Amino acid sequence: MAIAEETPLLTGTYIHTSHTQVYDRFTSGEKRLILTLVSCCALIPAFIHGALIPSIPQVSYDLSTTPEVTSLTISTSHIGTALGSMFMATYSRYYGRRPIYLVGLPFFCLGSYQMAKARSIYQFVAWNFVQNVGISGGISLGAGTIGDIFKLEDRGFAMGLFYGASLLGLAIAPVIGGFATHYTSWRTIHWASFIYGLIVLILIALRLPETSHPGTLGVEKADNQEQHAQADGVSRQRQKRRWVWLNPFSCLGLLRSPNLMLVALADTSVLLMDFVLSVPLRNTIGAKYGITNEALIGAILIPCGVGNTVGALLAGYISDRIIITYRAKRGGEWYPEDRLRGTLFSAATLVPLAVLFTGLTVEYVPGRTGLLLCLVWLFMNGVGIRLVLSPSEAYNVDVVHARSSEIIAASTATRTLLVSILVPGILPSIDHFGIVVTNMAAALIVWAGLGLLMVTIRYGKQLRSWMDVGFSTVEDN
């Protein structure tokens, strides 16, 4: 899908400044190719997580352990994703996007290969950690790459395409994982992941250019300082470039800013709903409507994945229109929090009501009608979640443009940590309080997140001035 290169900011007039020329380094065709490549990488994490869930019973049987122990793999994968994402985002600002892709993908391939050959649960969990570390940069590096090549008023739409494509992994993973597990073996999933990762690695090596803005990388600045020192007569021999140790947790410092932290917490409240519906799936929708086949259990999640993809495509377009419209109303003044206005409807209605309606349907509506309604609510939840998360992530890239990969990594790590803490309580809550009460409490959490978004929109300028972590301006965005 073509990306508009000359979107008007104000009534039909595009303001072309010297800064915006940095986005003209790549042609429209090159931008589409780059977007495709980074989306292929970002598709993998969602696929790996989604395909794992239907295979847990068979993995447990083959490796002589219990499903509860195998489920720990989900937690270790989240930890690997969080740590790896922060590491890769931090180093991408120093060395560039392309080298970090080329370092991470071989680890993903190695982890997938070893998981396919695992003979114990310890090997399975350990190599799953390596696998997730290797591909953990898929989202943060991809979002940073999009921030590198697309202008402010085109960025939301490009981010929507990116997340829409990457979330195809979420749509297809459960059914592929379920069918592979039921009709062949769970090992097939990891052999396929190894082959796919190898193909993507080759394509990245051959076709992905470095997209970071010239002169912004840490390694470039270090070289310039050395050249200036030599020009000034400093007598020292130029040394070979050495590995520079950086603190991967430094990106978490961006969340000292209240607006960035509030958005991260609001996103967590919404993302949690995916797990509220998917983790107990076998015990709720599966048990209510007599579905035990792993392939069919995985297929139930297809509407949610399709909804995520549709929502991501809609969200990017909507958030760009909002930025352009409100900027025109303000006479050209850019107010970054305008992009978040596109999240309010979904956070108020689609996401919480989908979760609430699912609980009520499972509890009170039997038979085929109940199952069909649950599929509708899953689709509605998927659309709603991306209509919140995609504009939020585009907002993060907008306001901390120079550290775009790092803020995405910090936000992702925060969401992952909080979700990992909350998810283990879902099944016990359903067992103790029932699905209606549990899902009602989940809906209340989303409405609390809605309040955080509204505060951020209303007081965005004050919050940014309270703790300035290097916010971007319209001149350098």
Alpha helices in 63-96 (DSSP H): 67-70, 72-95
Of the pLDDT bands very low, low, confident and very high (cuts 50, 70, 90), residue 10 is: very low
pLDDT tens, 413-466?
A: 898 888 878 887 888 899 899 999 999 999 999 999 999 999 999 999 999 999
The β-bridge partners of 13 are: 10
Of 44-58, 249-263, 362-376, least confident by mean pLDDT is: 44-58
Residue 167 has pLDDT above 80, yes or no: no
Q: Are 334 and 327 in contact (CB under 8 A)?
A: yes
Q: Find all residues with CB under 8 Å of 189, minimum gap 6, and list them.
A: 51, 52, 55, 176, 177, 180, 181
Helices (H), 96-217: 97-116, 121-135, 137-149, 152-166, 168-183, 186-207
Residue 405 has pLDDT above 70, yes or no: yes
pLDDT at 38: 94
Asked if pLDDT for residue 59 goes beyond 70, the answer is yes
pTM: 0.79
Which has the closest alpha carbon to 351: 305, 392, 383? 383
Tell me: pLDDT of 319 over 60. yes
CB 121 within 8 A of CB 65: yes
Tell me what the mean pLDDT of segment 391-420 comes to.
88
- pLDDT-derived band at 392 (thresholds 50, 70, 90) equals very high
Domains of the chain by start residue, with CATH:
28-215+251-476 (1.20.1250.20)
Please write the tens of the pLDDT for every residue from 13-39: 334 445 567 888 999 999 999 999 999
pLDDT, averaged across the chain = 86
Q: Closest Cα partner for 377 from 228, 277, 452, 290?
A: 277
Quick: pLDDT tens for 169-181. 767 777 788 778 7
pLDDT bin (cut points 50, 70, 90) of residue 353 is very high
Q: Tell which residue, 11, 49, 20, has the closest CA to residue 278.
A: 49
| 3-state SS assignment for residue 13 | strand
Among 167-181, 245-259, 403-417, which stretch is predicted with the lowest mean pLDDT? 167-181
Q: Given this model, what pLDDT does residue 225 score?
A: 66
Q: What is the pLDDT of residues 220-246, one digit of tens each?
A: 877 666 666 565 555 444 445 567 888
Q: Do the Cβ atoms of 335 and 475 come closer than 8 Å?
A: no
DSSP-derived letter for residue 5 is S
Lowest average pLDDT, out of 111-125, 286-300, 303-317, 453-467, goes to 286-300
pLDDT of residue 410: 92
Tell me how far apart the alpha carbons of residues 80 and 362 are, in angstroms, rounded to a whole number. Answer: 34
Q: What is the DSSP letter of 401?
A: G
438 CB contacts (<8 Å, ≥6 apart)? 276, 359, 426, 429, 430
